Amino acid sequence: MPLLDVSSLSIAFGNAPPVVDGVGFRVDRGETLALVGESGSGKTLTCRAVLRILPAAAQLRAGSIRYRSGHSDCDILTATPKTLRSLRGDRISMIFQEPMRSLSPLHRLGNQVAEVLHLHRSISGAQARRLVLAQFERVGFPDPERAWSSYPFEMSGGMRQRAMIAMAVISRPDLLIADEPTTALDVTTQAQVLGLIKDLQRETGMAVILVTHDLGVVANMADSVVVMNKGRVMESGRAMDILGAPAHGYTAKLFAAAPVIPATAAPAAARPVSADPILDIRNVTKSFTMKTGRWRKPFVVTACRDITLTLPRGRTLAVVGESGSGKTTCARVALGAVKPDPGGEVLFRAAPGSVPIRVHDMDAAQRRHFQRAAQMVFQDPYSSLSPRMRVVSALCEPMEIHGIGTRAEQREKAAEMVRMVGLSPDMLPRYPHAFSGGQRQRLSIARALTLDPSLLVCDEPTSALDVSVQDQILSLLEEIRDRAGLSYLFISHDLAVVSRIADDVAVMRGGVIVEQAPPDTLFYNPQHPYTKALIAARPDPDITRPINLDLVARGAGAPSSWPEMYRFEGTEAPALREVGSGHKVRCHA
């Protein structure tokens, strides 16, 4: 008899057709079920229906969610508020996507976690505290006492998610619902959090419903899989079967689109690097003076240190790193948005052999000229287009600013750019809300292209998109690069995305480049422990290749925990040494 039996569940908003339509699945005790789908597939609404945490406008049209455990047997959809409250947090608990915003910033972690115990058990403050501290230790807080009295904003995202997990499992629930629990986290943190959920599951025997869009996560976690699309179940069954041989076309499509770090083959001989760099970053260090609190002394944070990178014309240079690695600062310095510390240089050559613009030291005229030649594509297509501007105005605006062409010419150019990114010019009079995420990203690429730039800085251009759309955008970027002879500085946290588009990859950690090589070399022969951890942490949609948590743990820790050869002494990092053709590693000789 299953723990949870969802049958023909339908949810709708208003009079619109249902967004969840006849969904059914079963979860057994101790089993992990993955609910997989892209945005808009209804997977999140489905999992929230299990706890009846739905938007006020959502209507449960039909179906039942039967929950059976030792002393209770009820249909959650018809349960009284009182019964629901006794289930929530105690028998069925939930982890949310954004650990940054899912905890109250005004209450200490200990208070928020212990609250679960006080709500469901009659327990003294001291007993609750003891249990919470033990749980904190179990989920990996090095100092549980400190975690108890910390506020969420004092913690990193990974630590907050651990606190959320502690909160969810402290009452030893029968079922844990995890709604994209690691999507907002760095890959190495993701690997560790997934490992933790697995361990806790083994200890407590709870069942897990894991909602995710990432097939790699599914392969690592799930016993059974439900694939959803547009509110319906496309395919469901044992993870082994589905991941091995997807029967449904949609599932197969999802698999084909999932970015994968290529199976490692010996690298081909490195392509000869042209002696014509479009962008030359030399010895760039950028430090910020931080003022925190009113009375504490300001301190200096070095966002990136001694970065030297060269982008040959027509190529793609990728800078890869997790949050706080300094990759974004690097991009901003390259675009002249922030000035590097004295001593650093950024040189930009608009045409082969021309006199370089000193990006770190431009006057107003040079800046205008540079801005035409170097454009940026942003991460979030939802917030980088003004919702109050028609697409045509957004596309013509750069040309208006630079005083290029007549109005008619500008419109003609806008239409051309829209065609170039694979959309139709009759979409121009619309507002951005009429477009999907992928279409919006196409539009922001089109906007970046209207000035005929020679350099495009792409800041995580695909990370806010669904996998199938990610794939299309990457193809588009490749196609445009080769057609228009563009050069890309590509910022990303995802090695798999980078492996596809980049000619050269620089891996950053803690503000320095730890390893740099062409992607083939990097994946075939990673040297640095951090690079190895990054590669290992990337979940593979292949059930036979689980994440090697040991490898992740070895490289993802602090630079002081790395093997002797790579260790930093204080803030002094070893030098970046050439170990092969075009392959540099930061290590002691």
Partner 1 sequence: MMLLQYAVMRFATMLLTLWVVSILVFVIINLPPGDYLSNQIAELRATGQAEGVAKAEFLRREYALDRPIWEQYLIWAGFAPGPQGFFGLIQGNFGWSFEFDRPVAEIVGDALWLTVLVNLAAVIFVYVVALPLGVLAAAKSETWVDYTAGFVGYLGLATPNFLLALMLFYYGHKYFDLPIGGLMAPAFEGQPMSWPKVKSILVHLIVPTFVIGTSGAAAMMQRLRANMLDELSKPYVETAIAKGMKPSKMLRKYPLRMAFNPFVADLGNLLPAMVSGSVLVSVVLGLQTIGPYLLTALKSQDQFLAAFVLMFVALLTLIGTMISDLLLVLLDPRIRMGARD
Q: Which is nearer to partner 1, 292 or 560 (CB)?
A: 292
Alpha carbon distances (Å) from 91 to 62, 71, 499: 24, 11, 43
> Which residues, 6 or more positions from 136, have their beta carbon under 8 angstroms from its beta carbon?
113, 144, 147, 148, 163, 166
| Contact between 79 and partner 1 per CB under 8 A | no
CB of 292 to partner 1, least distance (A): 5
Q: How many CB atoms lie within 10 A of CB 208?
A: 24
HEC readout, 259-273:
CCCCCCCCCCCCCCC
Query: Considering Cα of 521, then 525, then 526, then 532, what sign does the dihedral take?
Result: positive
Q: Which stretch binds partner 1 (CB under 8 A): 59-67, 290-298, 437-445, 481-489?
A: 290-298
Q: Is 151 in the site for partner 1 (CB under 8 A)?
A: yes
Dist. CA 11–CA 18, nearest whole Å: 5
**Nearer to partner 1 by C-beta: 164 or 234?**
164
CB 225, min distance to partner 1, A:
24
Task: Kindly state whether residue 121 participates in binding partner 1, applying the rule CB under 8 A.
Answer: no
Q: What is the residue type of 345?
A: E
Question: Considering only residues 36, 76, 87, 513, which one is a binding residue for partner 1 as defined by CB under 8 A?
Answer: 87
Residue 504 CA to residue 79 CA, distance in Å, equals: 57
Closer residue to partner 1 (CB): 164 or 506:
164
Please tell me the distance from the alpha carbon of residue 435 to that of residue 418, in angstroms, as a whole number. Answer: 13
Quick one: which segment of 113-121, 211-219, 271-279, 535-543 binds partner 1 (CB under 8 A)? 113-121
Q: Which of 65, 94, 131, 184 binds partner 1 (CB under 8 A)?
A: 94
Q: Is 182 in the site for partner 1 (CB under 8 A)?
A: no
289 CB-contact burial (10 Å; exposed 0-12 / middle 13-18 / buried 19+) = exposed
Report the relative pairing of strands 455-459 and 299-312 from DSSP bridges: unpaired
State in Å, rounded, how far the first CA of the chain is from the last one. 62
Binding of partner 1 by 296 (CB under 8 A) = yes
Identity of the residue, 60 or 556, whose beta carbon is nearer to partner 1 in the bound complex = 60
Q: Is 532 helix (H, G, I), strand (E, B) or coil?
A: helix
Closest distance to partner 1 from the beta carbon of 179 (Å): 10
Task: Select the span of 70-78, 294-302, 319-327, 543-551 touching partner 1 (CB under 8 A).
Answer: 294-302
Residue 157 token pair:
């995202």
Min CB(506)–partner 1 separation in Å = 29
Exposed / middle / buried, residue 80 (Cβ in 10 Å: 0-12, 13-18, 19+): exposed
433 is a site residue for partner 1 (CB under 8 A) = no
Residue 14 CB, nearest approach to partner 1 (Å) = 14
Residue 154 touches partner 1, criterion: CB under 8 A: yes
CB of 112 to partner 1, least distance (A): 8
Residue 116 or 414 with smaller CB distance to partner 1: 116
Q: Least separation, in Å, of the C-beta of 27 and partner 1?
A: 17
Among 98, 341, 345, 380, binds partner 1 (CB under 8 A): 98
Which of residues 63, 89, 259, 321 is near partner 1 by CB under 8 A?
A: 89
Check residue 288 for interaction with partner 1 (CB under 8 A). no
DSSP per-residue letters across 79-127: --HHHHHHHBTTTEEEE-S-TTTSS-TTS-HHHHHHHHHHHHS---HHH
List 20, 60, 103, 458, residue binding partner 1 (CB under 8 A): 103
Is 51 one of the binding residues for partner 1 (CB under 8 A)?
yes
Q: Is 156 in the site for partner 1 (CB under 8 A)?
A: no
CB of 35 to partner 1, least distance (A): 17
Q: Which of 8, 72, 78, 101 binds partner 1 (CB under 8 A)?
A: 101
Binding flag, residue 301, partner 1 (CB under 8 A): no
Examine residue 106 and tell whether it contacts partner 1 (CB under 8 A).
Answer: yes
Task: Yes or no: say if 562 and 530 are a contact pair by the CB < 8 Å rule.
Answer: yes
Does 14 bind partner 1 (CB under 8 A)? Our answer is no
Phi, psi of 385 (to 5 degrees): -115, 130
Query: Cα dist. 561→144, 303, 550 in Å?
Result: 21, 21, 13
Q: Judged by CB under 8 A, does residue 430 bind partner 1?
A: no
For partner 1, the closer of residues 102 and 190 by Cβ is: 102
Length of the chain: 589
- Supply the DSSP symbol for 154: G
* Cα–Cα dist 99/164, whole Å: 7
| Residue 346 contacts residue 285 (beta carbons within 8 Å) | no
User: What's the one-letter identity of residue 115?
Assistant: E
- Angstrom distance (rounded) from CA 326 to CA 320: 10
Minimum CB–partner distance for residue 162 and partner 1 (Å): 15
Residues that bind partner 1 (rule: CB under 8 A) add up to a total of 36
Q: What is the number of other CB atoms lying within 10 angstroms of the CB of residue 72?
A: 13
Smaller CB distance to partner 1: residue 156 or 393?
Answer: 156
Query: Among 19, 53, 543, 553, which residue interacts with partner 1 (rule: CB under 8 A)?
Result: 53
If one asks whether residue 116 binds partner 1 (CB under 8 A), the answer comes out as yes
Q: Which residues bind partner 1 (CB under 8 A)?
A: 51, 53, 84-90, 93-94, 96, 98, 100-107, 115-116, 119-120, 151, 153-154, 164, 167, 291-296
